[in-house]
């Protein structure tokens, strides 16, 4: 009897101890869990803070320029000549025009080739060829822009000269071709995702009705992934608009308003990169360059935002 009681007491004591330990442990876990969550939260807040600094900083530094020059004059002014000692002019129309001309040229080359390549990769290529083509495209996407710029500067410009005997060695066409090569990998990888996410049933239904592969592609797969393809094209255009080193080294950097692809032009990005090195901090020119950056930021952000919207709005249809 006493034996039983003793065992009973001992075992219940043991249970209590166990309970206490486990409670202690779970409290420790709770504290630790809580601390981890708090740390992660703080880090995330810092990230949000730093990234929003991008918005505010660019705009606050651009404000004095918009104030002094006037937003309308700044955007529609036909002369960009901020270094003139007597009559500096801050109109970014030539820069907008240069950016537009080069990006347009690049898009005209890149969109058909990029989409064609995507279709080949996603639908036609043999798996073995695909497993070679995909890394090739990824490597193309990873090459630094300064290397593309170097290639355009020393090699591509010679080839263009050999064909057109143009007056300007460095011109919009030179930059556009190089930008197209940079746009294609971005476009292909995004558009391929879109084509791959078309449900298999749709394709099988088309084959079952006797459609050829091309008819299935044209009638089913391309329409079904059109939003993804559109977004891919827009994102790659956004990338082209914001590209700096390639256009800086390839386009000759003369701020003039022209439609001639063989003329030397200057883009917004190139103007910032060239002129930032040789100005007085806090001067009107300094703020004007931030204003160019702000305009560039708004343009690329708008393109990306719309592309995101197109993508998220239409991908829901199949899921």
CA atoms of 97 and 268, how far apart (whole Å): 9
Query: Does residue 63 touch another protein according to CB under 8 A?
Result: no
Among 19, 57, 196, 209, binds another protein (CB under 8 A): 57
CB-based contact 219:205 (threshold 8 Å): no
Structure tokens at 89: 């002019």
Q: Which stretch binds another protein (CB under 8 A): 13-21, 89-97, 201-209, 286-294?
A: 286-294
Among 54, 71, 209, 226, binds another protein (CB under 8 A): 54
Query: Does residue 117 touch another protein according to CB under 8 A?
Result: yes
Query: Does residue 143 touch another protein according to CB under 8 A?
Result: yes
C-beta of 87: minimal distance to another protein in Å? Answer: 26
Closer residue to another protein, CB minimum distance, 16 or 274: 274
CA atoms of 202 and 205, how far apart (whole Å): 5
CA atoms of 299 and 293, how far apart (whole Å): 10
CA atoms of 96 and 298, how far apart (whole Å): 13
C-beta of 262: minimal distance to another protein in Å? Answer: 21
- Nearest CA-CA partner of 172 in 271, 267, 265: 265
Q: Which residues have CB under 8 Å from 187's CB, separation 6+?
A: 110, 111, 114, 115, 118, 232, 233, 235, 236
C-beta of 152: minimal distance to another protein in Å? Answer: 10
Instruction: Say which residue the tokens 């990888």 belong to.
Output: 189
Among 14, 31, 213, 313, binds another protein (CB under 8 A): 213
Which residues within the stretch 216-245 sit at the binding site for another protein (CB under 8 A)?
235, 238-239, 241-245
Query: Does residue 193 touch another protein according to CB under 8 A?
Result: no
Query: Does residue 37 touch another protein according to CB under 8 A?
Result: yes
C-beta of 43: minimal distance to another protein in Å? Answer: 4
Query: Does residue 136 touch another protein according to CB under 8 A?
Result: yes
Q: Which stretch binds another protein (CB under 8 A): 1-9, 78-86, 143-151, 197-205?
A: 143-151
Report the SS3 class of residue 81. Answer: strand
CA atoms of 263 and 174, how far apart (whole Å): 10
Pure H helices in 70-125: 71-76, 93-119
Number of residues that bind another protein (CB under 8 A): 88
Query: Does residue 297 touch another protein according to CB under 8 A?
Result: yes
């Amino acid at each position: 009897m006493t034996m039983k009681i003793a065992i009973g007491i001992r075992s219940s004591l043991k249970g209590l101890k166990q309970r206490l330990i486990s409670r202690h442990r779970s409290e420790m876990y709770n504290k630790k869990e809580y601390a981890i969550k708090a740390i992660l939260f703080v880090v995330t807040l810092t990230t949000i803070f730093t990234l929003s600094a991008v918005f505010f900083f660019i705009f606050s530094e651009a404000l004095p320029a918009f104030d002094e020059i006037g937003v309308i004059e700044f955007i529609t002014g036909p002369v960009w000549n901020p270094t003139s000692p007597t009559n500096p002019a801050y109109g970014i129309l030539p820069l907008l025009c240069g950016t537009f001309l080069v990006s347009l040229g690049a898009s005209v080359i890149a969109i058909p080739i990029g989409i064609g390549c995507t279709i080949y990769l996603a639908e036609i290529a043999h798996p073995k060829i695909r497993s070679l083509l995909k890394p090739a495209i990824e490597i193309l996407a990873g090459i630094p822009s300064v290397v593309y710029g170097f290639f355009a500067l020393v090699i591509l410009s010679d080839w263009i000269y050999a064909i057109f005997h143009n007056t300007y060695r460095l011109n919009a066409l030179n930059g556009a071709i190089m930008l197209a090569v940079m746009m294609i990998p971005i476009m292909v990888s995004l558009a391929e995702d879109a084509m791959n996410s078309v449900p298999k049933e749709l394709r099988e239904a088309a084959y079952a009705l006797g459609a050829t592969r091309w008819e299935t592609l044209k009638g089913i797969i391309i329409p079904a992934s059109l939003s993804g393809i559109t977004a891919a094209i827009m994102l790659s255009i956004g990338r082209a608009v914001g590209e700096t080193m390639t256009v800086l080294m390839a386009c000759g950097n003369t701020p003039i308003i022209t439609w001639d692809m063989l003329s030397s032009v200057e883009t917004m990005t190139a103007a910032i990169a060239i002129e930032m090195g040789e100005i007085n901090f806090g001067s009107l020119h300094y703020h004007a360059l931030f204003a160019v950056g702000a305009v560039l930021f708004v343009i690329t952000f708008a393109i990306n935002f719309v592309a995101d919207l197109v993508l998220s709005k239409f991908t829901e249809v199949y899921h």
